[in-house]
Structure 1
């Protein structure tokens, strides 16, 4: 069974205090849901390692902006540190995107792409995709869809034709500064 991930990340126990908001945007550059999780307080920071680079992806004051594009097979999460600087872009390859009880979600197809501000690109979790195929969690068509979409996304990133990387800061400011947006909640 595919793992369904929601934009509000309501079950995330590491996050003790949060603010969440979302919008649906229909523009020339992007159509879909955008969520912003402002992380006020965490139990402890979280770090990831990419080669020689160690990146903090969660800590007090961090923000996660997630794009759920309509009719696409990826979701983009942009992670900002407490200074508002991008620490990484994280692309989840997914089967589909939807909305349930006004909460955007995506069904994860295991493959992920990480882009660092330095321009480095990392493909992740190929082993999880292979295991999912071997264990019957997904069929050959979904397996091929995952690889096709990952290859396409990498090509777009390398050729600087993936506009959401450039729009992330603009969209973050739009959600962060507009207190009139719907879907906001704190915990």
Structure 2
């Protein structure tokens, strides 16, 4: 059983979403405080210290928005954000990736989105952030897996926004994750479902803004 060691929630924006850290490297914040598409949402952050996960888990529930967000994969359109959708993020301690599980309004997984990052951290208001290293992995419930934005990483290397050492670390991390997904050892598939059920019920969908 996971032990919750701390819990924070936010109502007010703290800074610009996607703040520039070094040239084109973006620092991304889990509360998405300035996401203009969203009109009303709930946000919660928990610190967990369990046997199978140590780190931060955030819950971002969409209540009202200007318009749904759609994405196309292999000619198939998926709705990633709409009223009632939940985005849950896992920030595993000491790792160079963040996992976002997107649930629809019926509680079904739409996709798992894995951001490869240089580092993770917390703002003074205890909001998790990560410095994005461009490479992303998308996994659909159908089993389809996509490695995204390799061209953006190459452009960032050429422009001097990412060092070759950072790029090598990003590729190594992505390769390790892809191998664990292929071999059925990527625990966040089951962990996300369990955490959505146990933690969301325990929290009771807190704090709206």
SS in structure 1 at match of 2:128: strand
Moved over 4 A (4+): none
- What's the C-alpha RMSD, in Å, of the aligned pairs? 1.3
Superposed counterparts of 1:104-183, under 5 Å = 104-179=128-203
- In structure 2, the residue matched to 1:186 is 208
Runs (5+) with no aligned partner, structure 2: 1-21
**Partner of 2:34 in structure 1?**
11
Residue number among 48, 69, 80 corresponding to 1:46 in the alignment: 69
Segment drifting more, 5-14 vs 113-122: 5-14
Q: Distance in 1 between matches of 2:149 and 2:192?
A: 24
**Structure 2 residue corresponding to 1:79, chosen from 102, 124, 129:** 102
State TM-score, norm by structure 1. Answer: 0.95
Shift of 1:173: 2.0
Comparing 98-107 with 58-67, greater Cα deviation is found at: 98-107
Whole-angstrom CA distance in 1 between matches of 2:92 and 2:196: 15
- Residues 180 and 63 (structure 1 numbering): CA distance in 2 closer, same or farther, change over 3 Å? closer
Corresponding position: 1:92 with 2:115? yes
Which protein has greater RCO, CA pairs closer than 8 Å, 6+ apart? 1
Asked if the contact 1:65/1:78 (under 8 Å) is kept, the reply is yes
Match of residue 67 from structure 1:
90
For residues 152 and 6 of structure 1, the distance between their equivalents in structure 2, rounded to whole angstroms, comes to 25
SS of the residue 1:161 aligns to: coil
The number of residues matched between the two structures is 185
| Partner SS, residue 145 of structure 1 | helix
